Chains A and B, each alone.
Chain A
């Protein structure tokens, strides 16, 4: 069955970086793009962008240009999200979702606190 399994929760200080992984199984990884979605505590969902898993080309939503990087380890069927220079407002649960938005990872909580 199709599964997206994300890495565990992270506690970081402002200014640090974090890398979240999303490992796919049950399908051919390069056949479907991977999207990233942010959900701040008690808030709605915000689409961050997507990465073409065949070419590796990322596309970022306007609010996520600069400190956010999508990358792949295609041989491991894994998509990654790296956030640098973390700010308090980056505290959120981050989800990966396969193209079509039918399948989602379980979410990774990133807490940024001094």
Chain B
């Protein structure tokens, strides 16, 4: 099984700050990784697919990059509505596996 290690588990940031969340996979998955935002009581919302592509309708403050087995989600200029949990999903091979999540809070 492909392990996905996500960091940090929690993040305190100020409004307007740039934040970065990372997922590292245990083996190469090409670009088969998605990023999601999830707010309490809601379904996950797709932000980035295939590592770098911004989902239609999502703000361009979200971006994704990858290099080898390391994937990053960047939020530029943090806004109050960005407070949520963020996680990644590798969909390269089954069993598909999720990162453990990052709880983003305002400092």
Contact = CB atoms under 8 A, between A and B. Distances in A.
Given A44-B100, A44-B101, A62 B95 contact: yes
- How many B residues touch the partner, as a band? 10 to 19
Contacts of B95: 47, 61-62
Nearest to B49: A102
Contacts of B97: 47
B55 A104 contact: no
Interface in B60-107: 87, 89, 91, 94-101
Contact of B44 (A45, A46, A47, A61): A45
B46 A47 contact: no
Interface in A43-58: 44-47, 50
Contacts of A29: none
A106 B43 CA distance: 5
Contacts of B87: 44-45
Contacts of A101: 34, 46, 89, 91, 96
Interface of A: 35, 44-47, 50, 59, 61-62, 95, 100-102, 104-107
Interface of B: 34, 42-46, 49, 55, 87, 89, 91, 94-101
